A and B are shown apart, each in its own frame.
Chain A
Amino acid sequence: MTDTPAPRHLPNRLDNPLRSTILSWESLLIIVAVVIFIINSFASPYFLNAYSLSDLTFNFTEKALIALAMALLIIAGEIDLSVAAIIALASTLMGFALQFGADTPMLVAIGVGTGIVCGAFNGFLVTGLKLPSIVVTIGTMSLFRGISFIILGDQSYKGYPASFAWFGQGYVYWVISFELVLFLVMAVLYYVLLHRTNFGRRVYAIGNNDIAAQFSGVRVARTKFILFCLTGVMSGIAAVLLTARLGSTRPSIAEGFELEAITMVVLGGVSILGGAGSILGVVLAALIVGLVTFGLGLLNVPGIVMTIFTGSLLIVVIALPILFRQWRNRRPA
C-alpha cells in the first residue's frame, strides 16, 4: 500500500465467476435433483416414462407458481401464509359464480381477481397499518378460508365446463401440459423481474435493510404492497388451475399449500431472513419437491408417511442453507 493518495482504479469485481457458480447453492440443487431422479428410476419401473413424467409436473406446478411470487416477498423480508386460503376463497367464488351461469373467461377473471383483492388486502394491512406480515396473514388465512366455509358449508361445487377444465387438465403439445408451460413462462418472467429490473434490485435492497432503503429514496411501502398483490395474483392463478384440474371446489381445497410453497422457496436458497435468493434456485427446489413426492407416490408410500417426509424436509431445508453458508465461510478465501 502506498502513502500517496493517488486516485486508484476500482475493478468491477475480483472473484472468479466460475468458482462462485460451482460453489453456489443452485449447483448443489441440480446435483440433488439428478440423484433423486436416478433413485426414482431405479425404485419404480413406472417412473421413466413420458406419461409418468408428465403426471409428475401436475404435482408441483400450482404450488411452484405461488413459490415464484413468495420468493420475492420473502426476499423483501415479508411472508404470506394466507396463499392456500386465497385459493380456497377464489375457488369458492368461482364455484359460486358458476351457479349463476358464469362462462370460462368470467370464471378465470373471478379467480384471478379474488387473488388480487386478497393480496391487496394483505398488502394494505402490512404497509398501510404497519402490522407484521406473519400476524396479518395468519389472520387472513383463517378469514379467507372461513368465508369459504360460510358460503359452502359441507357442500361442494361441481360441473365446471370442459373449456375451463382444460386449464388444469389440458396439453399444449403431446405430454406437455398447459400447467407446465404456464409455470415455465412465469418462471422466466419472475427471473427477469427479480434479476434484471430496477424493481428486483429494490426488492433486494429492502430485504437487506428496509430503513436504509427508505433513506435511499426507495418507496418501500409501495414496493411491498405490489409484492403482496403479486402473491395474491399467483394464488388466484393457482386457484384456477387447481379447480380446473380437480373439477370441484370444497372449502378444504389446497390445504397445506402455503407450507409446501414456503418449503420450495427456502429449499431454493432464499434466506428466510430476507435479502438473498434466486429464482433459479426456487425452480430447482420446486422440481425436487415434485420428484420426491411423486416418487414416494409411485412406491405406494401412504399419505401419512409422506406428510412426515415433507415436514422433515422443511426442517432440513431451513437448517441446510445455514450449515452450507457456515461451511462455505469457513473455507479460506
Chain B
Amino acid sequence: MTPPVLTLSGITKTFPGVRALHNVSLELFAGQVTALIGENGAGKSTLVKVMTGIYQPDAGEITIAGKPVTLPTAHAAFEAGVTAIHQETVLFDELTVAENIYLGHAPRNRFGMIDWRKMRAEAKETLDSMAAGIDADIKLKELGIAKKHLVAVARALSIDAQIVIMDEPTAALSQKEIEELYVLIELLKQDGKAILFISHKFDEIYRIADRFTVFRDGEMVGTGLIKDTTQNQIVQMMVGRSVDHIFPARNAVIGDTVFEAKGLSHPTEFDDISFAVRKGEILGFYGLVGAGRSEVMQAVFGMTQPSSGTMSLDGQTIAPKSAADAVEAGIVYVPEERGKQGVITGQPIFQNVSLPSLKKTSSNGFLRAAQEFDLARTYTERLDLRASSLSQNVSTLSGGNQQKVVIAKWLATHPKVIILDEPTKGIDIGSKAAVHGFMGELVEQGLSVIMVTSELPEVLGMADRIVVMREGRIIATLDNKGLKPETLVRLAAGIAEEEAA
C-alpha cells in the first residue's frame, strides 16, 4: 500500500477552558477521499485550522510526503500544498474569477508584473476543463454560491495543491449542484489529490468517500474503509450510543390560527405571500436556496418592511417596524446566519441569553446579576447546553451549542410564534435530534413553530403542513400526509426546469 501523503500524529490543541483536540491522528492518501465525521464540537474545524496554518498545535507532528513540516502561517500551509474549500467560501467578491483563482500566485511577466493575458487564458482553460461554464472575466459577486465553490476548486487545481480540504462544501448547494460537485471530486481524485471531506450527510459520505475518520469530543475514535463499515457503526462511533429515531412523534394538539400573513409583497424579494400558522403546529417552508423564504421571515420579524400586505397575531393586526416590535408582540426568529445574526460572539453565554429579556431580569432598568444567571441557567440547561460555565464566551462554543444559546435566548421571552431558519444547518446528528425533539416539546406547550428548511427529511419528518416556495412566490401549501419527497422537489425546482432536463 502506498504511504499516506499527509500524516498527523498526536495533535493536541487546547483553548482556555476547552480541550479542542487531544492526541488525534489522521492520514490522507493520494487519489482518495477521506471523510472526517463527528458531532459539532468534536474538533473538526479546529483540525482544519491546524492543517491550514491558522492554529498552531500545542503538541504533535505533521508530515507531508514523508517529511515533517511546521505550518506557522496560512501561507506556509499553502506552500506545503494544502488548500481548503470552506462552508462559506473565502473568496473576494470584488475581484474577477481569474483574479480569485490566481490570487497570491499569479503568473508574472519578465518585468515581474502580473501577466494578465496569461492569467486569464489559464483560468479559462482550468474552468473549461471542469466544464464549469463560468466566464473568467466577471466579478465573483455575480456568481451564486455553487459557482463560487467551483471557483474555489479551480483555485485548488491551479495552485497544484496535493491536499484539498472540503469543509461542508454541499451545505448551501442544491441537489443538482451537489451532483456537479461529485463529478469534480472524481476529477480531483483522478488527478491524484488527497481529499479530506467534511460532511454531516451520510448519503454524501457513502457516495463519495473511500475512507473515514471519526472524531468525538476532540479525540479520534475510529478510522477505516467506508466499504467495510455500516452507517450504524459510524453513527455509534460518533455519538458513543446508537440513535434509534431521529424525528420525534408529533402529539401536539393543533388549535386555532395564531399568526396569519395576507398578500405580503416586497419589490424584489417576494410577492403575494399568504399563509397561516395555528397553535401547536409546525409549519414547514420548503424551497431551494434563494427562493425568498428567509426574506419573508425577516419581514414577519420586522427586519424588512413589506411594500404591501397585512399580518395578524391572535386576531390583532400587527405591522412590526423593527425586531424589537416583533419580539414584544411575541414573534421571534432564529436566523440562519448564526455567527453574524444569532449570537454576539464577544459576550458570555448569560448575557446573550438575557439580552432580549433584560426588562424581566432587572428592576427599574438596573441589572440584577442573580436573576440574569437564573434565567440563563433555566433555559440553557433545558437545552442541554455543553459549556464550562455561564460566563464562557459564546465564541468558544461549537456551532450546535451556539444554536442552543440562540434558542434559549428566545424561549426566555415566552414567544407565541418561533421562526427557525435552517435550524439544523451544519450541526451534527446528536444536536439535530435535540433540536427536533425540542421543537416537538414547544408545539406540545402550545407554541406555533415556523421552520424554514432545505432538507427534505427534516421538513417531511417534522412539519404538519408544508409551504413550498419558488422564486419569491408560494407554489403550494400541502398537508404533510403521505407526501412523497419527489412531489416537493418537483414543486420547488419548477416544472419548466424538469422539461428542459
Q: Mark A11-50, 1 if CB is under 8 A from B, else 0.
A: 1111100000000000000000000000000000000000
Taking the complex as formed, is A98 at the interface, i.e. its CB lies under 8 A from any CB of chain B? no
Which among A3, A192, A200, A204 is the interface contact of B347 at CB below 8 angstroms?
A: A204
B318 to chain A, nearest CB (A): 15
Taking the complex as formed, is B384 at the interface, i.e. its CB lies under 8 A from any CB of chain A? yes
Q: Which residues of A contact B340 (CB under 8 A)?
A: 209, 211-212
- Whether B346 pairs with A209 at a CB distance below 8 angstroms is yes
Q: Mark B346-365, 1 if CB is under 8 A from A, else 0.
A: 11011110111011001001
B61 to chain A, nearest CB (A): 21
Who on chain A is nearest to B382 by CB? A7
Q: Which residues of A contact B358 (CB under 8 A)?
A: 198, 201-202
A199 to chain B, nearest CB (A): 7
Q: Which residues of A contact B413 (CB under 8 A)?
A: 217
Give A219 to B303 CA distance when docked, in angstroms: 11
Q: Which residues of A contact B381 (CB under 8 A)?
A: 7-10
Which among B16, B217, B366 is the interface contact of A1 at CB below 8 angstroms?
A: B217
- Whether A198 pairs with B365 at a CB distance below 8 angstroms is yes
B421 to chain A, nearest CB (A): 11
With contact pairs A215-B303, A216-B355 given, residues A208 and B342 touching in the complex (Cβ less than 8 Å): no
Which among B17, B324, B380 is the interface contact of A14 at CB below 8 angstroms?
A: B17
Which among B241, B356, B385, B392 is the interface contact of A216 at CB below 8 angstroms?
A: B356
- Whether A217 pairs with B367 at a CB distance below 8 angstroms is no
- Whether A12 pairs with B373 at a CB distance below 8 angstroms is yes
Give A14 to B377 CA distance when docked, in angstroms: 15
Taking the complex as formed, is A276 at the interface, i.e. its CB lies under 8 A from any CB of chain B? yes
Interface centre among B358, B373, B409 (most CB of A within 10 A): B358
- Whether B366 pairs with A197 at a CB distance below 8 angstroms is yes
Sorting the interface of chain B by its residue count into under 10, 10 to 19, 20 to 34 or 35 or more gives 35 or more
- Whether A219 pairs with B322 at a CB distance below 8 angstroms is yes
A86 to chain B, nearest CB (A): 27
Interface centre among A9, A202, A218 (most CB of B within 10 A): A218
Sorting the interface of chain A by its residue count into under 10, 10 to 19, 20 to 34 or 35 or more gives 35 or more
A193 to chain B, nearest CB (A): 10
Which among B342, B350, B391 is the interface contact of A215 at CB below 8 angstroms?
A: B342
Taking the complex as formed, is B335 at the interface, i.e. its CB lies under 8 A from any CB of chain A? yes
Who on chain B is nearest to A199 by CB? B365
- Whether B323 pairs with A196 at a CB distance below 8 angstroms is no
- Whether B324 pairs with A218 at a CB distance below 8 angstroms is yes
Q: Which residues of A contact B367 (CB under 8 A)?
A: 196-198, 200-201
Taking the complex as formed, is A305 at the interface, i.e. its CB lies under 8 A from any CB of chain B? no
Taking the complex as formed, is B333 at the interface, i.e. its CB lies under 8 A from any CB of chain A? yes
Interface centre among B380, B389, B409 (most CB of A within 10 A): B389
Who on chain A is nearest to B16 by CB? A333
Q: Which residues of B contact A217 (CB under 8 A)?
A: 323-324, 326-328, 355-356, 413
Q: Which residues of B contact A143 (CB under 8 A)?
A: none
A3 to chain B, nearest CB (A): 4
Give A328 to B27 CA distance when docked, in angstroms: 35
Taking the complex as formed, is A275 at the interface, i.e. its CB lies under 8 A from any CB of chain B? yes
Interface centre among B343, B347, B391 (most CB of A within 10 A): B347
Q: Which residues of B contact A199 (CB under 8 A)?
A: 365
Taking the complex as formed, is B390 at the interface, i.e. its CB lies under 8 A from any CB of chain A? yes
- Whether B345 pairs with A208 at a CB distance below 8 angstroms is yes
B453 to chain A, nearest CB (A): 19
- Whether B335 pairs with A198 at a CB distance below 8 angstroms is no
- Whether B324 pairs with A219 at a CB distance below 8 angstroms is yes
Which among B327, B345, B356, B359 is the interface contact of A209 at CB below 8 angstroms?
A: B345
A9 to chain B, nearest CB (A): 7
Interface positions of A (Cβ within 8 A of B): 1, 3, 5, 7-15, 192, 196-202, 204-205, 208-209, 211-219, 275-276, 333
The 7 closest A-B pairs by CB, nearest first: A333-B16, A217-B327, A208-B346, A13-B391, A198-B358, A3-B240, A217-B356
For this complex, 25 residue pairs linking A to B, each with C-beta atoms less than 8 Å apart, are A7-B384, A10-B387, A12-B373, A12-B389, A12-B390, A14-B391, A197-B362, A197-B367, A198-B358, A199-B365, A201-B351, A201-B367, A205-B344, A208-B345, A208-B346, A211-B341, A212-B340, A214-B303, A215-B333, A216-B352, A216-B355, A217-B324, A217-B355, A217-B356, A333-B16
Q: Give 11 new A-B contacts, CB below 8 A, not counting A7-B382, A10-B385.
A: A10-B389, A11-B390, A197-B365, A198-B365, A202-B358, A204-B351, A208-B347, A211-B340, A212-B341, A216-B344, A216-B355
